[in-house]
């Protein structure tokens, strides 16, 4: 809800996601807690669907949303991934139609620019098996359990292959990064592509450095917080 140029920053993400051509709808999934009422208002303002569910169980929230809207495949753009790439949302959908994979991720894009795809059947299966009620860090349930067909879209385009660039919103430094890019590149009626954003950042490496050093702290926190997966069949340790 932090504002840039007078708008909540999540509106910039919603605008980008709506540029994807293949998904049949966009749904903002949030919690049923009162503090998330503003997100529902934003969804309605931006003319997208909204679903409100479990406060900590992201997987269950997604499943219930998928059931409500009667879909068999979802693509997730996390709410803190403001520059998630609509071109790769479409590539994830296309990859699913070709492979029927349970879980599809992109490798090589800037950290936070990648959407992920999940077959609802796989989502239902993990919701039946998991014991955790806090399922943030949700990728691990698909990539580390050995239960699902996992596919990766390898991004080899040298202009887009920049995993060293951090594009997710967890720390004040991240907000400063996004604010700087948006103020410099966004114009009324003009949403810059990921390619245009990266070109700009290559010309201004000092902007990349605003939050780049936070990646190690993020990874350490992630590993300590999400090291275990508790399933009805046993507890797994995530090893990178």
Q: Are 186 and 11 in contact (CB under 8 A)?
A: no
Residue 204's alpha-carbon distances to 148, 157, 184, 192, 200, in angstroms, are 41, 20, 11, 16, 6
- Cβ neighbours of residue 76 closer than 8 Å, sequence gap 6 or more: 62, 115, 116, 117, 118
Is the pLDDT at 217 greater than 70? The verdict is yes
Interval 215-227 mean pLDDT: 88
pLDDT at 223: 84
pLDDT band at residue 225, thresholds of 50, 70 and 90? confident
Average pLDDT, the chain: 96
pTM surpassing 0.85? yes
Q: Are 112 and 83 in contact (CB under 8 A)?
A: yes
Mind listing the pLDDT tens digit for each residue in 106-142?
Answer: 999 999 999 999 999 999 999 999 999 999 999 999 9
Q: At what angle do helices 86-99 and 10-17 cross, to 10 degrees?
A: 50
pLDDT at 227: 86
Spell 64-76 as b/e; 16+ CB within 10 A means b: bbbeeeeeebbbb
Dist CA 145 CA 231 (whole Å): 9
Q: What is the DSSP letter of 187?
A: B
pLDDT at 188: 86
Mind listing the pLDDT tens digit for each residue in 203-215?
Answer: 999 999 999 999 9
Identify which has the larger pLDDT, 190 or 83.
83
DSSP letters of 93-144? HHHHHHH--SEEEEESS-BT---EEEEHHHHHHHHHHB--S---STTHHHHS
Q: What is the DSSP letter of 36?
A: G
pLDDT band at residue 47, thresholds of 50, 70 and 90? very high
pLDDT band at residue 38, thresholds of 50, 70 and 90? very high
Q: In a 10 Å sphere around its CB, with 0-12 CB exposed, 13-18 middle and 19+ buried, how is residue 222 labelled?
A: middle
Lowest mean pLDDT across 14-18, 157-161, 221-225: 221-225
Is the pLDDT at 232 greater than 70? The verdict is yes
pLDDT band at residue 240, thresholds of 50, 70 and 90? low
Is the pLDDT at 61 greater than 80? The verdict is yes
pLDDT band at residue 39, thresholds of 50, 70 and 90? very high
Q: In a 10 Å sphere around its CB, with 0-12 CB exposed, 13-18 middle and 19+ buried, how is residue 80 labelled?
A: middle
Longest dimension (CA), the chain: 53
Interval 36-54 mean pLDDT: 98
């Amino acid at each position: 809800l932090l504002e840039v140029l007078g708008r909540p920053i999540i509106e910039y993400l919603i605008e980008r996601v709506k540029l994807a051509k293949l998904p049949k709808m966009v749904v903002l999934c949030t919690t049923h807690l009162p503090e998330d009422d503003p997100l529902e208002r934003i969804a309605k303002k931006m003319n997208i669907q909204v679903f409100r569910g479990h406060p900590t169980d992201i997987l269950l929230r997604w499943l219930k949303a998928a059931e409500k809207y009667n879909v068999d495949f979802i693509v997730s753009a996390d709410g803190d991934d403001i520059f998630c790439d609509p071109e790769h949302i479409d590539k994830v959908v296309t990859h699913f139609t070709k492979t029927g994979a349970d879980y599809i991720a992109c490798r090589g894009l800037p950290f936070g620019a990648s959407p992920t795809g999940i077959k609802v059947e796989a989502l239902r299966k993990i919701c039946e098996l998991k014991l955790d009620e806090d399922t943030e860090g949700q990728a691990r349930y698909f990539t580390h359990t050995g239960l699902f067909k996992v596919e990766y879209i390898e991004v080899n385009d040298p202009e887009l292959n920049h995993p060293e660039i951090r594009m997710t919103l967890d720390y004040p430094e991240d907000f400063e990064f996004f604010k700087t890019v948006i103020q410099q590149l966004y114009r009324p009626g003009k949403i810059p592509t990921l390619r245009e954003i990266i070109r700009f950042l290559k010309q201004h490496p000092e902007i990349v450095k605003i939050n780049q050093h936070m990646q190690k702290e993020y990874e350490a926190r992630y590993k300590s917080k999400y090291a275990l997966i508790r399933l009805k069949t046993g507890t797994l340790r995530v090893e990178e």
